[in-house]
Chains A and B, each alone.
Chain A
């Protein structure tokens, strides 16, 4: 860990000499704050060199759409998106994590939103990225996040008549060390 930060610090110190126009995390963050306001992002952090920020579900669609069209930063590649569940966070139990990639500048950006599990409705991104279609279906399948405006929001990996969302934390996996089951017929 210590070595990594030292390395990246050394790299960043070397960079301004080479190319002053290089898109760095600091510049992305400054741009984000300028475009969407100071209060649009909370919990800004840089774990392992990847800029991470949390925003709200009301603004996520606007932000990602503008980032997609922004001619300076060109976040045109949606690497992945996935859901996450924190049962203990009152009012912010479910979350979606978006990872964008600007291929031209080779900068990645991670955006997060959190919302209550009782009202798991977020806007769809299928109008910005075609690839969001199945990722959103997957998040719906596993976490029950409902994407407003999605053209075909049905389960993708699980059977269709399931009436729960299995990746939520309340469905714990069974203890692998339990002994009250017989495995007599297993693996024959």
Chain B
């Protein structure tokens, strides 16, 4: 074994011993005996597979150590072998509550690398799909927060609405959860009249349900008691911990990638960034609810101003042709073959592109050495970055507070572990 590795092992060993010593309760005083509680790895209240080793003094949490990596699937390593299109399914499976955002973020990264300009219509279509995904993501997070405080009904109300959004996805691309509607250079196909009709119908029906959902929780005494001043984090700390998305905005920082670095024509739309003040669970809930309304505003604007024109860029070397065209058109067949066999060669370069994901800045750092696969692909996964602040947010509170804090942070295990 080389010396460097041996040193490494020593460091691991020492660190593990140190961690172990921290975990083992020290019995100095009879009254201070601590209980070790394993919250997770698989527990309905942990919303995924991650473990929290909590030290409890009665009902109060003294310290916590989060352990992750239970569903690590080595996406970054796998991506080094895959042509650009075949990385799309990896991105789907990170934040599976809002997979269109992940997909399109990845496609935009490749477009940036290749220098493809996407036509306006495709950009607006992307905006519609991404905002739908954001709405479903926030709906799930907020309604599960309701379930964790003991209110199951609201969850049923909005889950039905998510189902309807998934039907729109199905109409647009054929898939529901792991969508495949995006392509490098645009969309796979245009919106069908049925899809537009479903979308308009949903836009008409959804606000009533949303209002009902809000009226159930927002001024609910029990809900407020369970969430106000629970799991707070200050703006300064949130920034230092690298928070983004609703979690950061709830602490009062109006950082939104859609406004700061507009992509996909977000600069054309008129919307506000809701911010909170305390950074507690209640603020995170309110910020997400308000973002749903803002997303609806964006969708309305995009639908009303949907430009005419092509739904994909004229880039045959990179744009994967729709399957129907492949059956009938020789050119499409050739390009389809070339792209699927991975004959696209990307230029040498490195590119960082980020989009506003369901729960924060989702970034793609791509290093290309001119081959058909990325030399290195690093995902900036918002969940991974802010979950490390969890112990700090829950220390001193009770176990039931820890549960609602966790669900209001919207940590998706698929994205945490990649």
Contact = CB atoms under 8 A, between A and B. Distances in A.
B264 to A, nearest CB: 15
B349 A47 contact: yes
B410 to A, nearest CB: 17
Interface in A2-54: 2-4, 47-48, 50, 52
A156 interface: yes
Contacts of B386: 131
Nearest to A5: B115
A82 interface: yes
A103 B239 CA distance: 10
Given A84-B376, A130-B240, A142-B76, A97 B7 contact: no
Interface stretch (B12-20, B155-163, B180-188, B321-329): B12-20
B80 interface: yes
A47 B238 CA distance: 29
Contacts of B317: none
Contact of A82 (B77, B237, B261, B365): B365
A80 B385 CA distance: 9
B191 interface: no
Interface in A49-83: 50, 52, 76-80, 82
- Chain A CB count within 10 A is highest, among B240, B349, B361, for B240
A2 B115 contact: yes
Contacts of B3: 118
A106 B239 contact: no
B200 interface: no
A130 B12 contact: no
B4 interface: yes
B365 A133 contact: no
Rank and list the top 3 A-B pairs by shortest CB-CB distance, nearest first.
Answer: A1-B115, A131-B242, A157-B69
Interface of B: 1-5, 7-9, 11-12, 15-16, 18-19, 68-69, 72, 74, 76-78, 80-81, 112-115, 117, 237, 239-242, 253, 255, 260-261, 347, 349-352, 354, 361, 363, 365, 367, 376, 378, 380, 384-389, 417-418
12 contacts: A1-B115, A3-B115, A3-B117, A47-B350, A79-B242, A84-B367, A103-B239, A130-B242, A131-B386, A152-B15, A157-B72, A173-B78
